[in-house]
Amino acid sequence: MRYLKNIFFVLVMVSLLVVPAMAKPIKIRFSHVVSPETPKGKAANYLKEILEERTGGKIKVEVYPNSSLYNDKEAIKALKMDVIQLACPSFSKFTAYVKQLQIFDLPFLFKSVDSLHKFQDSEYGKKMLKLVEKRGLVGLAYWDNGFKVLSNNVRPIVKPEDAKGIKFRIMSSKVLEEQFKALNAIPVTMSFSEVYTALQQGVVDGAENPWSNYYTKKFYEVQKYTTVSYHGYLGYMLVTNKKIVMKLKKAGLYDTFLKAVKDATEYERKLAKEMDDYYYKKVKESGKTQVIELTDAQKEPFRKLFKEKVYPKFYKIIGKDMIEAAASF
Protein backbone atom coordinates (compact mmCIF):
# COMPACT_ATOMS: atom_id res chain seq x y z
CA MET A 1 0.00 0.00 0.00
CA ARG A 2 2.76 2.36 1.05
CA TYR A 3 4.59 1.44 -2.15
CA LEU A 4 1.52 2.35 -4.26
CA LYS A 5 1.10 5.63 -2.41
CA ASN A 6 4.72 6.50 -3.22
CA ILE A 7 4.20 5.77 -6.90
CA PHE A 8 1.03 7.88 -6.88
CA PHE A 9 2.90 10.75 -5.21
CA VAL A 10 5.68 10.59 -7.80
CA LEU A 11 3.15 10.55 -10.64
CA VAL A 12 1.33 13.59 -9.26
CA MET A 13 4.59 15.49 -8.88
CA VAL A 14 5.67 14.62 -12.42
CA SER A 15 2.32 15.70 -13.82
CA LEU A 16 2.50 18.96 -11.92
CA LEU A 17 5.99 19.76 -13.11
CA VAL A 18 6.12 18.36 -16.60
CA VAL A 19 2.61 18.29 -18.02
CA PRO A 20 1.79 21.99 -17.60
CA ALA A 21 5.14 22.96 -19.09
CA MET A 22 4.49 20.72 -22.07
CA ALA A 23 0.83 21.53 -22.46
CA LYS A 24 0.86 25.28 -22.08
CA PRO A 25 1.01 26.79 -25.56
CA ILE A 26 2.54 30.13 -26.37
CA LYS A 27 -0.36 32.46 -26.87
CA ILE A 28 -0.34 35.03 -29.67
CA ARG A 29 -3.13 37.59 -29.79
CA PHE A 30 -3.61 39.17 -33.20
CA SER A 31 -5.79 42.29 -33.20
CA HIS A 32 -6.98 44.07 -36.33
CA VAL A 33 -9.75 46.43 -37.39
CA VAL A 34 -11.17 45.04 -40.62
CA SER A 35 -13.71 42.37 -41.49
CA PRO A 36 -12.59 38.70 -41.61
CA GLU A 37 -13.78 38.83 -45.24
CA THR A 38 -10.96 41.12 -46.37
CA PRO A 39 -7.47 40.06 -47.50
CA LYS A 40 -6.00 41.01 -44.12
CA GLY A 41 -8.82 39.29 -42.22
CA LYS A 42 -8.49 36.09 -44.21
CA ALA A 43 -4.70 36.04 -44.06
CA ALA A 44 -4.79 36.57 -40.27
CA ASN A 45 -6.98 33.49 -39.96
CA TYR A 46 -4.75 31.55 -42.34
CA LEU A 47 -1.69 32.47 -40.30
CA LYS A 48 -3.45 31.20 -37.16
CA GLU A 49 -4.32 27.95 -38.90
CA ILE A 50 -0.84 27.15 -40.21
CA LEU A 51 0.95 28.25 -37.04
CA GLU A 52 -1.19 26.04 -34.84
CA GLU A 53 -0.98 23.13 -37.25
CA ARG A 54 2.75 23.33 -37.93
CA THR A 55 3.67 23.64 -34.26
CA GLY A 56 1.29 20.88 -33.20
CA GLY A 57 -0.54 23.35 -31.00
CA LYS A 58 2.58 24.70 -29.27
CA ILE A 59 1.52 28.12 -30.54
CA LYS A 60 -2.07 29.19 -30.04
CA VAL A 61 -3.30 32.22 -31.97
CA GLU A 62 -6.38 34.26 -31.08
CA VAL A 63 -7.52 36.61 -33.85
CA TYR A 64 -9.64 39.63 -32.93
CA PRO A 65 -11.11 41.28 -36.10
CA ASN A 66 -13.35 44.36 -36.55
CA SER A 67 -11.65 46.48 -33.81
CA SER A 68 -13.26 44.03 -31.34
CA LEU A 69 -10.22 44.31 -29.07
CA TYR A 70 -8.44 47.52 -30.09
CA ASN A 71 -8.50 50.17 -32.76
CA ASP A 72 -5.23 50.59 -34.65
CA LYS A 73 -3.80 53.33 -32.49
CA GLU A 74 -4.41 51.38 -29.31
CA ALA A 75 -3.17 48.21 -30.97
CA ILE A 76 0.34 49.58 -31.46
CA LYS A 77 0.48 50.56 -27.78
CA ALA A 78 -0.89 47.17 -26.70
CA LEU A 79 1.68 45.47 -28.90
CA LYS A 80 4.51 47.40 -27.29
CA MET A 81 3.20 46.38 -23.88
CA ASP A 82 2.91 42.74 -25.00
CA VAL A 83 -0.84 42.65 -24.34
CA ILE A 84 -1.15 41.56 -27.96
CA GLN A 85 1.64 39.98 -30.01
CA LEU A 86 0.60 40.63 -33.63
CA ALA A 87 -0.94 43.60 -35.38
CA CYS A 88 -1.15 44.71 -38.98
CA PRO A 89 -1.93 48.42 -39.07
CA SER A 90 -1.91 50.47 -42.23
CA PHE A 91 1.23 52.56 -42.71
CA SER A 92 -0.52 55.76 -41.70
CA LYS A 93 -1.08 54.39 -38.22
CA PHE A 94 2.68 54.39 -37.66
CA THR A 95 2.92 58.12 -38.31
CA ALA A 96 3.52 58.95 -34.63
CA TYR A 97 6.30 56.35 -34.44
CA VAL A 98 8.01 56.20 -37.81
CA LYS A 99 7.29 59.18 -40.03
CA GLN A 100 9.06 57.73 -43.07
CA LEU A 101 6.37 55.09 -43.46
CA GLN A 102 4.09 57.83 -44.73
CA ILE A 103 5.84 57.34 -48.05
CA PHE A 104 3.20 54.72 -48.81
CA ASP A 105 0.46 57.35 -48.43
CA LEU A 106 1.89 59.64 -51.13
CA PRO A 107 -0.73 59.82 -53.87
CA PHE A 108 0.23 58.51 -57.32
CA LEU A 109 3.69 57.45 -56.14
CA PHE A 110 3.49 53.81 -57.18
CA LYS A 111 2.61 53.04 -60.78
CA SER A 112 1.13 49.64 -60.02
CA VAL A 113 0.95 46.94 -57.37
CA ASP A 114 3.95 45.30 -59.07
CA SER A 115 6.13 48.37 -58.71
CA LEU A 116 4.98 48.73 -55.13
CA HIS A 117 6.02 45.13 -54.42
CA LYS A 118 9.38 45.70 -56.09
CA PHE A 119 9.97 48.66 -53.80
CA GLN A 120 8.85 46.74 -50.70
CA ASP A 121 11.09 43.79 -51.57
CA SER A 122 14.08 46.01 -52.35
CA GLU A 123 16.79 47.16 -49.93
CA TYR A 124 14.73 50.33 -49.38
CA GLY A 125 11.71 48.32 -48.31
CA LYS A 126 13.79 46.10 -46.04
CA LYS A 127 15.30 49.18 -44.43
CA MET A 128 11.80 50.52 -43.78
CA LEU A 129 10.75 47.30 -42.05
CA LYS A 130 13.68 47.78 -39.68
CA LEU A 131 12.67 51.34 -38.80
CA VAL A 132 10.02 50.16 -36.35
CA GLU A 133 12.68 48.37 -34.27
CA LYS A 134 13.70 51.62 -32.65
CA ARG A 135 10.19 51.67 -31.23
CA GLY A 136 10.41 48.24 -29.65
CA LEU A 137 8.55 46.56 -32.50
CA VAL A 138 9.63 43.98 -35.03
CA GLY A 139 8.52 44.51 -38.64
CA LEU A 140 7.76 41.11 -40.18
CA ALA A 141 6.23 41.72 -43.60
CA TYR A 142 4.24 43.99 -45.84
CA TRP A 143 0.64 43.04 -46.47
CA ASP A 144 -1.54 44.44 -49.23
CA ASN A 145 -4.93 45.90 -49.55
CA GLY A 146 -5.27 47.99 -52.68
CA PHE A 147 -5.55 51.35 -54.34
CA LYS A 148 -8.17 53.69 -52.91
CA VAL A 149 -11.38 55.14 -54.33
CA LEU A 150 -12.75 58.50 -53.32
CA SER A 151 -16.36 58.62 -52.16
CA ASN A 152 -18.70 61.33 -50.93
CA ASN A 153 -22.27 62.54 -50.60
CA VAL A 154 -21.96 66.06 -51.99
CA ARG A 155 -21.25 65.77 -55.71
CA PRO A 156 -19.55 63.51 -58.27
CA ILE A 157 -15.80 64.15 -58.26
CA VAL A 158 -14.25 64.20 -61.71
CA LYS A 159 -11.82 67.14 -61.44
CA PRO A 160 -9.77 68.27 -58.43
CA GLU A 161 -12.01 71.36 -58.01
CA ASP A 162 -15.02 69.11 -57.39
CA ALA A 163 -13.62 68.12 -54.00
CA LYS A 164 -13.60 71.69 -52.73
CA GLY A 165 -15.17 72.16 -49.28
CA ILE A 166 -16.03 68.46 -48.86
CA LYS A 167 -15.24 66.90 -45.47
CA PHE A 168 -13.29 63.68 -45.82
CA ARG A 169 -12.42 61.18 -43.12
CA ILE A 170 -8.71 60.41 -43.10
CA MET A 171 -6.41 58.11 -41.16
CA SER A 172 -3.93 59.94 -38.96
CA SER A 173 -1.37 60.84 -41.60
CA LYS A 174 0.16 64.20 -42.46
CA VAL A 175 0.42 63.13 -46.09
CA LEU A 176 -3.30 62.44 -46.29
CA GLU A 177 -4.00 65.71 -44.55
CA GLU A 178 -1.95 67.58 -47.15
CA GLN A 179 -3.52 65.60 -49.96
CA PHE A 180 -7.01 66.82 -49.05
CA LYS A 181 -5.80 70.34 -48.30
CA ALA A 182 -4.34 70.46 -51.81
CA LEU A 183 -7.87 69.74 -53.06
CA ASN A 184 -9.25 72.55 -50.86
CA ALA A 185 -11.21 69.88 -49.04
CA ILE A 186 -11.45 69.39 -45.27
CA PRO A 187 -9.63 66.36 -43.79
CA VAL A 188 -11.00 64.94 -40.54
CA THR A 189 -8.92 62.33 -38.68
CA MET A 190 -10.98 59.45 -37.35
CA SER A 191 -10.49 55.80 -36.46
CA PHE A 192 -11.77 53.17 -38.85
CA SER A 193 -14.41 51.86 -36.45
CA GLU A 194 -16.19 55.24 -36.47
CA VAL A 195 -16.33 55.77 -40.24
CA TYR A 196 -19.67 54.14 -41.08
CA THR A 197 -21.65 56.12 -38.49
CA ALA A 198 -19.82 59.33 -39.37
CA LEU A 199 -20.75 58.93 -43.05
CA GLN A 200 -24.30 57.93 -42.25
CA GLN A 201 -24.88 60.84 -39.89
CA GLY A 202 -23.11 63.40 -42.03
CA VAL A 203 -20.29 64.08 -39.54
CA VAL A 204 -18.12 63.73 -42.62
CA ASP A 205 -19.21 63.72 -46.27
CA GLY A 206 -16.71 61.35 -47.72
CA ALA A 207 -13.78 58.99 -47.33
CA GLU A 208 -11.11 57.11 -49.26
CA ASN A 209 -10.91 53.34 -49.15
CA PRO A 210 -9.82 50.32 -51.14
CA TRP A 211 -12.69 48.19 -52.46
CA SER A 212 -12.57 45.44 -49.85
CA ASN A 213 -12.96 47.84 -46.92
CA TYR A 214 -15.49 49.91 -48.83
CA TYR A 215 -17.68 46.88 -49.42
CA THR A 216 -17.27 44.83 -46.25
CA LYS A 217 -17.93 47.83 -44.00
CA LYS A 218 -20.93 48.84 -46.17
CA PHE A 219 -19.60 52.38 -46.66
CA TYR A 220 -20.91 52.30 -50.24
CA GLU A 221 -24.44 52.09 -48.87
CA VAL A 222 -24.07 55.54 -47.32
CA GLN A 223 -22.12 57.21 -50.15
CA LYS A 224 -23.87 58.65 -53.21
CA TYR A 225 -20.78 59.03 -55.41
CA THR A 226 -17.73 56.81 -55.78
CA THR A 227 -14.85 58.03 -57.91
CA VAL A 228 -12.48 55.31 -59.09
CA SER A 229 -9.39 57.47 -58.78
CA TYR A 230 -6.90 54.91 -57.43
CA HIS A 231 -4.93 57.93 -56.28
CA GLY A 232 -3.31 56.32 -53.27
CA TYR A 233 -2.52 52.95 -51.88
CA LEU A 234 -3.55 51.30 -48.63
CA GLY A 235 -1.23 48.65 -47.28
CA TYR A 236 0.01 47.30 -44.01
CA MET A 237 2.98 46.28 -41.97
CA LEU A 238 2.65 43.05 -40.04
CA VAL A 239 4.38 43.71 -36.73
CA THR A 240 5.17 41.86 -33.55
CA ASN A 241 7.18 42.74 -30.44
CA LYS A 242 10.62 41.82 -29.14
CA LYS A 243 9.29 39.94 -26.11
CA ILE A 244 7.40 37.34 -28.11
CA VAL A 245 10.32 36.99 -30.52
CA MET A 246 12.54 36.07 -27.55
CA LYS A 247 9.93 33.65 -26.24
CA LEU A 248 9.59 31.92 -29.61
CA LYS A 249 13.36 31.72 -30.04
CA LYS A 250 13.73 30.19 -26.58
CA ALA A 251 11.10 27.59 -27.43
CA GLY A 252 12.83 26.83 -30.76
CA LEU A 253 9.75 27.97 -32.68
CA TYR A 254 10.93 31.21 -34.26
CA ASP A 255 11.97 29.72 -37.61
CA THR A 256 8.61 27.97 -37.94
CA PHE A 257 6.93 31.26 -37.05
CA LEU A 258 8.88 33.17 -39.71
CA LYS A 259 8.16 30.56 -42.37
CA ALA A 260 4.43 30.71 -41.57
CA VAL A 261 4.55 34.52 -41.83
CA LYS A 262 6.23 34.19 -45.23
CA ASP A 263 3.57 31.77 -46.48
CA ALA A 264 0.72 33.87 -45.09
CA THR A 265 2.23 36.93 -46.79
CA GLU A 266 2.27 35.22 -50.18
CA TYR A 267 -1.31 34.13 -49.65
CA GLU A 268 -2.32 37.64 -48.60
CA ARG A 269 -0.81 39.29 -51.67
CA LYS A 270 -2.59 36.91 -53.99
CA LEU A 271 -5.85 37.32 -52.16
CA ALA A 272 -5.64 41.12 -52.14
CA LYS A 273 -5.50 41.17 -55.91
CA GLU A 274 -8.42 38.77 -56.33
CA MET A 275 -10.58 40.44 -53.70
CA ASP A 276 -9.98 43.90 -55.09
CA ASP A 277 -11.61 42.87 -58.38
CA TYR A 278 -14.33 40.93 -56.59
CA TYR A 279 -15.45 43.75 -54.31
CA TYR A 280 -15.23 46.33 -57.11
CA LYS A 281 -17.84 44.28 -58.98
CA LYS A 282 -19.95 43.83 -55.86
CA VAL A 283 -20.12 47.59 -55.26
CA LYS A 284 -20.99 48.25 -58.89
CA GLU A 285 -23.66 45.56 -58.94
CA SER A 286 -25.25 46.88 -55.75
CA GLY A 287 -26.47 49.99 -57.58
CA LYS A 288 -26.33 51.85 -54.26
CA THR A 289 -23.70 54.38 -55.29
CA GLN A 290 -22.88 56.07 -58.58
CA VAL A 291 -19.51 54.71 -59.71
CA ILE A 292 -17.48 57.23 -61.68
CA GLU A 293 -14.48 55.73 -63.44
CA LEU A 294 -11.74 58.22 -64.22
CA THR A 295 -9.77 57.91 -67.43
CA ASP A 296 -5.99 58.38 -67.37
CA ALA A 297 -6.46 61.87 -68.80
CA GLN A 298 -8.91 62.70 -66.02
CA LYS A 299 -6.47 61.46 -63.38
CA GLU A 300 -3.69 63.65 -64.73
CA PRO A 301 -4.72 66.97 -63.06
CA PHE A 302 -4.93 65.18 -59.70
CA ARG A 303 -1.49 63.64 -60.24
CA LYS A 304 0.02 66.98 -61.20
CA LEU A 305 -1.55 68.81 -58.26
CA PHE A 306 -0.38 66.29 -55.68
CA LYS A 307 3.13 66.09 -57.07
CA GLU A 308 3.49 69.84 -56.98
CA LYS A 309 1.67 70.60 -53.75
CA VAL A 310 2.10 67.54 -51.56
CA TYR A 311 5.41 65.80 -52.36
CA PRO A 312 7.78 68.72 -51.62
CA LYS A 313 6.33 69.03 -48.12
CA PHE A 314 7.69 65.58 -47.33
CA TYR A 315 11.14 65.71 -48.92
CA LYS A 316 12.72 66.40 -45.55
CA ILE A 317 10.59 64.04 -43.45
CA ILE A 318 10.66 61.01 -45.73
CA GLY A 319 13.74 61.80 -47.81
CA LYS A 320 13.70 63.07 -51.38
CA ASP A 321 15.95 60.21 -52.48
CA MET A 322 13.57 57.68 -50.97
CA ILE A 323 10.57 59.24 -52.73
CA GLU A 324 12.39 59.34 -56.04
CA ALA A 325 13.57 55.77 -55.62
CA ALA A 326 10.02 54.60 -54.90
CA ALA A 327 8.72 56.39 -57.98
CA SER A 328 11.35 54.72 -60.16
CA PHE A 329 10.29 51.12 -59.45
Residues that bind ligand LMR (CB under 6 A): 33-34, 90, 145, 171, 192, 213, 234
**Shortest distance, CB of residue 194 to ligand LMR, whole angstroms?**
10
For ligand LMR, the closer of residues 34 and 271 by Cβ is 34
**Shortest distance, CB of residue 34 to ligand LMR, whole angstroms?**
5
For ligand LMR, the closer of residues 61 and 176 by Cβ is 176
User: Smallest Cα–Cα separation from 227: which of 145, 283, 165?
Assistant: 283
For ligand LMR, the closer of residues 243 and 273 by Cβ is 273
For ligand LMR, the closer of residues 108 and 192 by Cβ is 192
**Shortest distance, CB of residue 31 to ligand LMR, whole angstroms?**
11
**Shortest distance, CB of residue 305 to ligand LMR, whole angstroms?**
22
For ligand LMR, the closer of residues 33 and 63 by Cβ is 33
For ligand LMR, the closer of residues 192 and 215 by Cβ is 192
**Shortest distance, CB of residue 245 to ligand LMR, whole angstroms?**
23
For ligand LMR, the closer of residues 238 and 291 by Cβ is 238
**Shortest distance, CB of residue 187 to ligand LMR, whole angstroms?**
13
Give the separation between CA 70 and CA 75, rounded to whole angstroms.
Answer: 5
3-state SS, one letter per residue, for the chain: CHHHHHHHHHHHHHHHHHHHHHHCCEEEEEECCCCCCCHHHHHHHHHHHHHHHHCCCCEEEEEECCCCCCCHHHHHHHHHCCCCCEECCEHHHHCCCCHHHHHHHCCCCCCCHHHHHHHHHCHHHHHHHHHHHHHCEEEEEEEEEEEEEEEECCCCCCCHHHHCCCEEEECCCHHHHHHHHHCCCEEEECCHHHHHHHHHCCCCCEEEEEHHHHHHCCHHHHCCEEEECCCCEEEEEEEEEHHHHHHHHHCCCHHHHHHHHHHHHHHHHHHHHHHHHHHHHHHHHHCCCEEEECCHHHHHHHHHHHHHHCHHHHHHHHHHHHHHHHHHC
For ligand LMR, the closer of residues 15 and 68 by Cβ is 68
**Shortest distance, CB of residue 193 to ligand LMR, whole angstroms?**
9
**Shortest distance, CB of residue 216 to ligand LMR, whole angstroms?**
10
- Backbone φ and ψ of 64, nearest 5°: -115, 100
